[in-house]
Amino acid sequence: MTKVFDTDLAAGFGTRAIHAGQRPDPLSGAIMTPVYLTSTYVQDALGQNKGYEYGRGTNPTREALERNVAALEGGRHGFAFASGMGCLDSILKLFRSGDHLICGENVYGGTVRLLDQIWSHLGLQVTYVDTRDPQRVDDARTDRTAAILVETPSNPLMRITDLAAVAEIARRGRALLIVDNTFATPYFQRPFESGADLIYHSTTKYLNGHSDMLGGIAIVQDDALADRLKFLQNAGGAVPGAFDCWLALRGTKTLHLRMPCHDANGRRIATFLSERMGAERVRYPGLATHPQYDLARRQMSGFGGMVTLDLGTRERAATALSRVRVFALAESLGGVESLISHPASMTHASVPAERRAALGITDGLVRLSCGVEDADDLLADLDQALRGL
Ligand SMILES: *Cc1c(COP(=O)(O)O)cnc(C)c1O
């Protein structure tokens, strides 16, 4: 194989995005990783195979994606799953009944649902903590604390967790620091550099970037932890199909082109909304008025396209959502197209109402996923949608 393929970690981000984990097809030399649509592999003789036995265990298209995203995060091992939730569900199988997990109080609604309505019933003890304050994380630790799970920036309140500070707390308590890096992506934030043990993504979002598949991926450095995840991936079987892996892999090839554009549009829109509606109504870590702006700048190299706006009431939120023409009313985020959503009734509907209220996920909150359309068109769309509000 020529050197450009299977790029090592010393190469730049864009070179890794395009090449890492991939090599020309050995049969034809096809430069694009083929979609290996097969459930099984013919063996040469009893006990002799080419390293592939059955599709749940291994698939070459899936492996290319796993190696690619692992290289982008600066990790050593990747494990792809059928969705972000399927990925987290498999990660949680690392633990045992009676183990204690500290979870950021503002995380994706489906994460809360999975923990409270499935894993708590199976004996996992969960404490939700405002992880903006590392001291609170430390105070929540018990001698059964096996892991700390954080999402930063958080969804939809755009709160930041100091990853290095929490990694130090996790290390002292021999707990794993697990980071949901879906919002920032490795282009803007690399949690391993701050001491995280396990990073996961909903590849459905920015990594794929085109809203045409569902997937999740877990990345680790440690070989022993990788062995356990590999076992869980095959034993639990929540694996993605080869075509979805191929779509995600096509997406990661342009991550370094898309993210600066999401970021530029996010900054312009957040600035516009802050001037028009008042800074206290807009949450975006790249605004100097964000309470954790300094931490965000230290920990991230850009802020992405997620902006949250507080319109005060459900009625005003509904009016804005009904008027948009370029932004589309839909759940999800991270695609090239701009989306607008209402967290209280959509992504966070599974969080109990009183908990939503305590957190500040109010009925007036609207979440924007700024796509990569022309910023002027997005601004004009929001301008008309917010008229009189
Ligand atoms: C969407 C999302 C998930 C869940 O991923 P799915 O692919 O929808 O299962 C988890 N975390 C965050 C931050 C998300 O945005």
Residue nearest to atom 2 of ligand 1 (CA): 202
For ligand 1, residues with CB inside 6 Å are 83-85, 108, 110, 151, 155, 180, 182-183, 202, 204-205, 214, 216
Residue nearest to atom 5 of ligand 1 (CA): 84
Q: Does residue 179 carry a pLDDT above 70? A: yes
Beta carbons within 8 Å of 65's beta carbon, 6+ residues apart? 21, 78, 80, 203, 217, 245, 246, 248, 249, 252
Q: How far is the CA of 245 from the centre of ligand 1 (A)?
A: 16
In tens, the pLDDT along 29-63 reads 999 999 999 999 999 999 999 999 999 999 999 99
Ligand 1 atom with least separation from CA of 182: 13
For residues 323-338, give the mean pLDDT: 98
The 8-class DSSP code of residue 120 comes to G
Is 205 an annotated catalytic residue? Answer: yes
Residue nearest to atom 7 of ligand 1 (CA): 84
Does residue 80 or residue 11 have the better pLDDT? 80
pLDDT of residue 6: 60
Substitution candidate for ligand 1 out of 111, 189, 205, 351 with most atoms within 8 A of CB? 205
Query: Which strands, in side-by-side order, build the sheet including 125-129?
Result: 77-81, 216-220, 198-202, 176-180, 145-151, 100-104, 125-129
In tens, the pLDDT along 116-175 reads 999 999 999 999 999 999 999 999 999 999 999 999 999 999 999 999 999 999 999 999
In tens, the pLDDT along 183-238 reads 999 999 999 999 999 999 999 999 999 999 999 999 999 999 999 999 999 999 99
Q: How far is the CA of 4 from the centre of ligand 1 (A)?
A: 33
In tens, the pLDDT along 294-321 reads 999 999 999 999 999 999 999 999 999 9
The 8-class DSSP code of residue 253 comes to T
pLDDT of residue 373: 98
Band (pLDDT 50/70/90 cuts) for residue 3 is very low
pLDDT of residue 351: 85
* Cβ neighbourhood burial of 358 (10 Å; 0-12, 13-18, 19+): exposed
Sign of CA dihedral 270, 271, 272, 273: positive
Percent of the chain with pLDDT over 70: 98
Q: 114-122 long-range CB contacts below 8 Å, 24 or more apart?
A: 114/85, 114/88, 114/89, 118/89, 119/92, 122/97
List 62, 205, 258, 267, catalytic entry: 205
pLDDT of residue 8: 64
Q: Does residue 2 carry a pLDDT above 70? A: no
Q: Which residues pair with 151 in a beta bridge?
A: 180
* Cβ neighbourhood burial of 204 (10 Å; 0-12, 13-18, 19+): buried
Q: Does residue 335 carry a pLDDT above 90? A: yes
Q: Which residues pair with 48 in a beta bridge?
A: 45
Q: Does residue 245 carry a pLDDT above 80? A: yes
Residue nearest to atom 6 of ligand 1 (CA): 84
Q: How far is the CA of 144 from the centre of ligand 1 (A)?
A: 27
In tens, the pLDDT along 251-306 reads 999 999 999 999 999 999 999 999 999 999 999 999 999 999 999 999 999 999 99
**Strand pairing report for 77-81 and 216-220:** antiparallel
| Centroid of chain to Cα 272 | 26
Query: Tell me, what amino acid is at 14?
Result: G
Domains and CATH numbers, the chain: 13-252 (3.40.640.10), 256-385 (3.90.1150.10)
Give the number of other CB atoms < 10 A from CB of residue 288: 10
Is 141 an annotated catalytic residue? Answer: no
For residues 108-118, give the mean pLDDT: 96
Determine if the pTM surpasses 0.85: yes
Is 108 an annotated catalytic residue? Answer: yes
Substitution candidate for ligand 1 out of 69, 87, 152, 155 with most atoms within 8 A of CB? 155
How far is the C-alpha of 22 from the C-alpha of 5, rounded, in Å? Answer: 6
Give the angle 207-153-172 at the CA atoms, nearest 5°: 105
For residues 239-243, give the mean pLDDT: 98
Q: How far is the CA of 202 from the centre of ligand 1 (A)?
A: 5
How far is the C-alpha of 78 from the C-alpha of 275, rounded, in Å? Answer: 42
Is 180 an annotated catalytic residue? Answer: yes
